[in-house]
Structure 1
C-alpha cells in the first residue's frame, strides 16, 4: 500500500463508496446465461454418468 500514491487510493475509495451507495450494476441476462450453462452441464454430466453406469 505504501507504493500507491494517496491521491490514487482516495480516488478509488470515493468510487467504491459511490458504488456502495448506488448498488452494483446488475446484468440479469448474463446471470441467467451462466445459470443455464451450469444446468446444461449438470444434465450432460448426468447423462454421461448414467450411460457409463449401465
Structure 2
C-alpha cells in the first residue's frame, strides 16, 4: 500500500512539473510562431522574387 501511495505522489509531482513545463513551452512556441509569421509577412512585402522582375 505504501508503494502505491509513493507512486501516486510521484505521478502527481511529475504531472505538476510537466504541466508547468507544458505551459512554459507552449507560451514560447506561441511567441516563436507569432514572430515567425510576422517575419514572413514582412519579408514578403520587401522580397520580390527574380521571376517577377521584368
Q: State TM-score, norm by structure 2.
A: 0.50
Q: Structure 1: any 5+ residue segments left out of the alignment?
A: 1-18
Where has structure 1 moved over 2 Å in runs of 4 or more? none
Q: What's the counterpart of residue 14 of structure 1?
A: none
Q: Which runs of 5+ in 2 are unaligned?
A: 42-54
Aligned to 1:52: 39
Cα RMSD (Å)? 2.0
- Paired with 1:31 and 1:39, the residues of 2 have a C-alpha distance of 12
Q: What is the total number of aligned residue pairs between the two structures?
A: 34
